[in-house]
Chain A
Amino acid sequence: MGKIKVAKGAPRTDMTPMVDMFMLLLTFFMLTATFRPQEPTQVDTPNSISEKLTPERNLITVYVGKDNKVFFNVDNGEDSTMHVRQEVLKNVGAAYNISFTPEQLEKFERMDAFGMPIENVKAWIDAPDNTAREALQTGIPVDTTEAATSELANWILYARKANPRAEATIRGDNTADYKAVKQVLDIFQGAKIDKFNLVTNLEKVEVKLENL
Chain B
Amino acid sequence: MAEIIASEGGGKKKGKKRAKKFSTAIDMTPMVDVMCLLLTFFMLTTAFSKPKIMEIVLPEKTNEPSKTEIPKWRAVNIILDENDRIFYYNGLADPTKPPIPTVIETDFSKDGIRKMLLERNKVLFKQISDLNNDVLTGKQVMSKDTLDQRLRNLRTYDDVGPIVLIKATEKVKYKNIVDIIDEMAICNIARYSLTEMNSFEEKLLAKAKRDIAAGQTGQPN
Contact = CB atoms under 8 A, between A and B. Distances in A.
Interface string A176-199: 111111000100011000111111
A202 B46 contact: no
B35 A22 contact: yes
A95 interface: no
Given A34-B46, A53-B50, A178-B174, A195 B35 contact: no
A141 B69 CA distance: 38
B173 to A, nearest CB: 6
Interface stretch (A43-51, A76-84, A103-111, A130-138): A43-51
A209 B186 CA distance: 12
A177 B53 contact: no
Interface size band for A? 35 or more
Interface residue SS majority, chain A: mixed
A171 B55 CA distance: 12
Interface stretch (B13-21, B121-129, B154-162, B205-213): B121-129
Interface string A62-98: 0010000000000000000000000000000000000
Contacts of A29: 39, 42-43, 46
15 contacts: A12-B25, A25-B39, A35-B45, A52-B54, A54-B53, A176-B174, A178-B168, A178-B174, A178-B177, A179-B171, A185-B58, A194-B60, A198-B54, A207-B186, A209-B129
Interface of B: 25, 28-29, 31-32, 35-36, 38-39, 42-43, 45-47, 49-61, 80, 114-115, 118-119, 122, 125-126, 129, 168, 170-179, 181-182, 185-187
